[in-house]
């Protein structure tokens, strides 16, 4: 998939930005700033962001739920 991304997908003109994603990435990478260093010397995500837990709810239900909805025993 890496080859397809490099040769095809990232070379197409994006519908919203009207730019090639590969070119846009190069432009944006020049403006990136390094992550802050932690006490251990490694780059980390800010603590507030790291502690935020996204809720996860499965959309799958046991088949018995659908049987109950349909009135099937």
pLDDT of residue 46: 58
Say whether pLDDT at 64 is over 80.
yes
Say whether pLDDT at 18 is over 80.
yes
- Report, as an integer, the average pLDDT of 5-33: 93
SS3 assignment, position 43:
strand
Say whether pLDDT at 42 is over 70.
no
| pTM metric for this prediction | 0.45
Average pLDDT in the chain: 81
**How far apart are the C-alpha atoms of 39 and 33, rounded to whole Å?**
19
Q: How many CA atoms lie within 13 A of 26 on its CB side?
A: 6
Q: 37 phi and psi, to 5 degrees?
A: -85, 140
Say whether pLDDT at 11 is over 80.
yes
């Amino acid at each position: 998939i890496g080859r397809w991304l490099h040769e095809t997908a990232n070379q197409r003109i994006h519908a919203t930005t009207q730019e090639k994603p590969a070119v846009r990435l190069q432009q944006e990478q020049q403006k990136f700033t390094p992550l802050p260093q932690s006490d251990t010397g490694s780059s980390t995500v800010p603590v507030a962001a790291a502690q935020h837990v996204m809720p996860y709810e499965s959309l799958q239900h046991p088949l018995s739920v659908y049987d109950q909805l349909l009135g099937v025993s």
